[in-house]
Structure formats: C-alpha cells, structure tokens
Amino acid sequence: MRTIEQLAEELGGLAGRTVLVRSDLNVPLDGSTITDDGRVRASVPTVRLLADAGARVVVVAHLGRPKGVPEAKYSLGPVAGRLGELLGRPVGFVTETVGPQAQAAVAAMSDGEVLVLENLRFNPGETARSDEERADFARQLAGMVDAFVSDGFGVVHRAQASVYDVARLLPHAAGDLVRSEVEVMRQLREDPRRPYAVVLGGAKVSDKLGVIESLIAVADRLLIGGGMVFTFLKAQGHEVGTSLLEADQVDTVRGYLGTAAERGVEIVLPTDIVVADAFSADARHEVVAADSIPAGMMGLDIGPDSEKLFADRLADARTVFWNGPMGAFEMEPFASGTRAVAKVLVERTHEGAMTVVGGGDSAAAVREFGYDEDDFGHISTGGGASLEYLEGKELPGLTVLED
C-alpha cells in the first residue's frame, strides 16, 4: 500500500493539494456529547500530518446507521468540534456532503485548513448495493479533491463509496492509522509470539464463527466469555437457564471443541457464572457453577473463580488478542469479569507481551475503566474489520489500495 510520503512524491508535494481523508469517526453520542472519543483521537495524527504539510484536508466519515437521509441525531457536528479541540486548530464543518454548499466550502479552503463534511450515510449512494449508484456518489466526492487517503480501519471491510470506489478514481494512499492496524493484525495472523492466547466475548457466537475457526489453526489457547459462552456450555451438555443461547450454532460449536482437542488448542471456559433474574443492574444476582445455572436465571458475567482461571491461563502469554467483553460491563454488578481481563492485559503489556484490544465494546470498556492507550500494545479502532482480517477474508478497502 502506498504511504502518504509516496503519495506526496507522486503529487509533487502536498501543499495546495486538496486531500479527501476517509476517517472512522463513528463515536457513541449521548445527545450531542461524545461519550468515547477514542476514534476521533486515533484520526488526529494523519489529519495533522497532512495539514502540517500544507494540504487542504477534507475529512469524511459516517456516524450511526441513518437510512440515506439526514437525521439530526447522527450529525457529525459534535465530532468536528472535538476534532478541532484535539488538533488545536479550527476545523470547519459543512452540513452536507456533495452539494453546492460543500463544493463551495472545499473550493474556498486555504493550505493547511481542515474541513469536515456531514455524515456520508445521509446520502444513499454511500452504502448502495448498486455499483453504479455508489460509483456516482464516489465521483461527486472525488470531483472536489486531488487525492484520497484511507484512514478509517473500522470500515475497510465494507465496499462502500467512500472506502472503495473513491480510491479507484484518485491517487491514493493508506493513512498511518490503517497501516499500523494492518501491521498489528498481520503479526497476529502470521507471526505471533507464543504462547498466543485469544480472549473472545460479546453477545453472539455467530458473529465470530469464522474467526474462531481460523484462530483454532493459529492460537495456542482460546478463552471464551460473554454471551457467546452459553452456546459453548450447551454444546458440552449443560443447561443455561434463560441465558443468551444460539441453539442453531450448538452443533457447530461442538465441532470446534472437537477440532481444538485434535489440534491441541486449549479452549478455556468459565467455571462459574454471575447469574441474575433479569437484565438489569438492580436484578437479584448470585454466583453459580457454570454447569449448574438455574432455570429462570440468565448469565451476565463470568464469576470470580473464572477471573482467576483466565488470569492464570494468560499469565505466560507473549501475545494476547482480546475481542468482546466478558459480560454486561455497562452495568456495574456485571463488569467485574471484563475489568479483570483488562487488568491482566495491562500486566502482560508491562511485562513485555504484545497485547491487542480488538476494538468495539472491548475498546470502550478499557476506556470506561480509566486505562490509557499506553497500557496496551494496541487498541484497534475496528472490531469487525479486525475480526475479518484475522479470519483471512479479503477486505475491499485494503485490496483497492494495493497497487
């Protein structure tokens, strides 16, 4: 993939050039307040690099899942404001993406200025299934600029107009964020330091079937928590009460357990579970053995003995990849398991292990718990993209950059 430095050489310098940057600014909002600005922070270095080189930087991104029409709650206005604070310079904002107002604002930019355009997904062409509709929107974006930098790792697994089609129309490069993410994920997939331990959580095992199959071929041990663990427990013949269960995946999971055993890959499941009588922070809850979940109770976290077990099985790991919380960490009674895993990863980082937090809820959790970026080897900005990369899938937003 071409670097920004190589792109600058191709263009004869960046000063005076208008560069479209596809960032990932899909942050959680409470009204107009950003509750986790991790992705905005991650976008800053590439934007600053381009602006400092004299480029006119036009930032595009999506937020939420609007249906191709403007929705005030998904406006990037608050994000543009936060980006300006982090950059320490004014950042303009336009309430459209490719219309006359946007075109005029881009044309009026001076060297080193930064402008954020409104949510890409307010335009149906961004995510259209029709190749021509996407290409038409991409042509409108490309028509305002001289070059393209792809810096939103969290969207490179999507063949969308601003990720894939624009790159085909313009001189392009991978931003530093995308390059660093790919470097880390490639090491996890191809050359991890061993022992290599993977911690998987989150709600659904079906979301991670492909990556589980791939990781069984490369990891030394897999530690399973979160809602997905109950499908594993069911595959072992245990009852799971009213816990989240994907009954249609039980046979598949049973097959994974068999494959792991044949290959000598250790599957570590919780020995105890925090159960509750409702999905609520105020629900009555208790700790029970993982193979004795009562009828009418749902599992919402791994238990204290499991925390110790997981810590033990991570203690010698030289590489740890973690994707997905161990429970409903947003509610304090069910946050202990996720907090315990985060603590172990911090300890492993400080002891020289390569630790990777795989984006999504895991990244949100470690920030909520007050950890710094430096407490981990790498915090990915793309949960879905990182999983698909580790699964070995072809990611359109990366392949289009490989020329």
Give the separation between CA 380 and CA 32, rounded to whole angstroms.
24
| Residue 221 among known ligand-binding residues | no
- According to the model, what pLDDT value does residue 142 have? 98
Longest dimension (CA), the chain: 69
| Residue 183 among known ligand-binding residues | no
Q: Where are the domains of the chain?
A: 4-175, 186-391
| Residue 208 among known ligand-binding residues | yes
Q: Does residue 248 contact residue 264 with C-beta atoms inside 8 Å?
A: no
CATH number belonging to domain 4-175: 3.40.50.1260
Q: Does residue 250 contact residue 284 with C-beta atoms inside 8 Å?
A: no
- According to the model, what pLDDT value does residue 83 have? 98
- DSSP letter, residue 162: I
- According to the model, what pLDDT value does residue 166 have? 98
Look-up: residue for tokens 């001289």? 146
- According to the model, what pLDDT value does residue 207 have? 83
- According to the model, what pLDDT value does residue 170 have? 98
| Residue 67 among known ligand-binding residues | no
Q: Following DSSP, what letter does each residue of 46-99 receive, concatenated?
A: HHHHHHHTT-EEEEE---S---SS--GGG-SHHHHHHHHHHHTS-EEEES-SSS
| Residue 339 among known ligand-binding residues | no
| Residue 41 among known ligand-binding residues | no
| Residue 26 among known ligand-binding residues | yes
Helix H or strand E encompassing 139? helix 131-142
CB under 8 A, 24+ apart: contacts of 137-143:
137/98, 137/161, 137/165, 138/162, 138/165, 138/166, 138/168, 138/169, 139/169, 140/98, 141/20, 141/60, 141/97, 141/98, 141/166, 142/20, 142/166, 142/169, 142/170
| Residue 65 among known ligand-binding residues | yes
Q: Does residue 104 contact residue 125 with C-beta atoms inside 8 Å?
A: no
| Residue 373 among known ligand-binding residues | no
Which residues are annotated as catalytic? 39, 204, 360, 384
Are domains 4-175 and 186-391 of this chain identical in fold?
yes
Give the 3-state secondary structure of residue 268. Answer: strand
One pLDDT digit (tens) per residue for the chain, 403 residues: 999 999 999 999 999 999 999 999 999 999 999 998 999 999 999 999 999 999 999 999 999 999 999 999 999 999 999 999 999 999 999 999 999 999 999 999 999 999 999 999 999 999 999 999 999 999 999 999 999 999 999 999 999 999 999 999 999 999 999 999 999 999 999 999 999 999 999 888 888 888 999 999 999 999 999 999 999 999 999 999 999 999 999 999 999 999 999 999 999 999 999 999 999 999 999 999 999 999 999 999 999 999 999 999 999 999 999 999 999 999 999 999 999 999 999 999 999 999 999 978 899 899 999 998 899 999 999 888 999 999 999 999 999 999 7
Q: Can you give the C-alpha Rg of the chain in angstroms?
A: 22
Amino acid identity, position 81: G
| Residue 20 among known ligand-binding residues | no
- DSSP letter, residue 193: -
Does the domain made of 186-391 have the CATH classification 3.40.718.10?
no
Give the separation between CA 209 and CA 380, rounded to whole angstroms.
20
Look-up: residue for tokens 């072809």? 394
Give the separation between CA 65 and CA 122, rounded to whole angstroms.
9
| Residue 25 among known ligand-binding residues | yes
